[in-house]
Amino acid sequence: MAKAKKIKVDPALAAERVLKIFPVLKKTYPDATVSLDFKNPLELLIATILAAQCTDARVNIVTKDLFKKYKKPADWADAKKKQLEDDIRSTGFYRNKAKNIKNCCQTLIDNFGGKVPSTMEGLLSLAGVGRKTANVLLGNAFGIQGVVCDTHVIRLSRRLALSENADPVKLEFDLMQIVPKKKYGGWTMFSHLLVFHGRNICKARKPDCDNCPIAKHCPSANNPQLW
């Protein structure tokens, strides 16, 4: 994979740009939300682990039956590894995912009374959970604001010159400094909006700048290859 080009970003201008594009994107995508289907924090946790290197659409197909079969942390932790692998095979990397899910749910039982923790520290103690997954859980299961730096957010943040960093953890902290934590729906909503915009308009290979509602605020609208 080609190394990301170094860009120069003025944090003050980036913050101003966020305030201009945030309400426009929210009006454009009024139904923006997490794309994974879930009914409780445990289901979202499992779905997010399965979503690594897999489309949300595929995960939703798999979990439709999966969540009827496995309902409690003990169901996952006690599942036969081979059976669980077969159940999630179509999501890819199924051996590692099955291992992480079993270990993760055992930790929930051992350390958290069978409940999904609602803190970054607690979530990061679970197998298969990094900051991105933790922020998905915090924002969508517990209503705690978090910036989710998936591939769309990383790509669009660079095209919009919101951060010089392509590293997801560094980018997360950069965006926390310039995106309102509560206004317009806050960090969680801003993440959803960039994901929706990345899927619909600002695509990786061919961004549709002619039909982009925030093109006039985008430094790379006339040169999509710049970032």
CATH number for the domain spanning 168: value is 1.10.1670.10
Tally helices (H) and strands (E) across the chain. Answer: 11, 0
| Residue that finishes a domain, picked among 141, 158, 180 | 141
87, 97, 132, 174: which one is catalytic? 132
124-180 residue pLDDT tens = 999 999 999 999 999 999 999 999 999 999 999 999 999 999 999 999 999 999 999
223 backbone φψ class: left, alpha, beta (φ>0; ψ -120 to 50): beta
Q: Does residue 150 have an active-site annotation?
A: yes
The one-character DSSP state at 214 is T
Which residues form the domain of 211? 11-33+146-217
- Please check the confidence at residue 2 and state whether its pLDDT lies above 70: no
Asked whether residue 227 is domain-assigned, the answer is no
From residue 106, how far is each of 74, 75, 99, 150 by CA, in Å?
A: 7, 10, 11, 27
Asked whether residue 210 is domain-assigned, the answer is yes
Q: How far apart are the first and last CA of the chain?
A: 15
Residues 116 and 137 placed together within one structural domain of the fold: yes
56, 150, 167, 203: which one is catalytic? 150
| Residue that finishes a domain, picked among 141, 165, 196 | 141
Measure the CA–CA gap between 61 and 81, rounded to whole angstroms. 21
What type of residue sits at position 147?
V
Q: Does residue 78 have an active-site annotation?
A: no
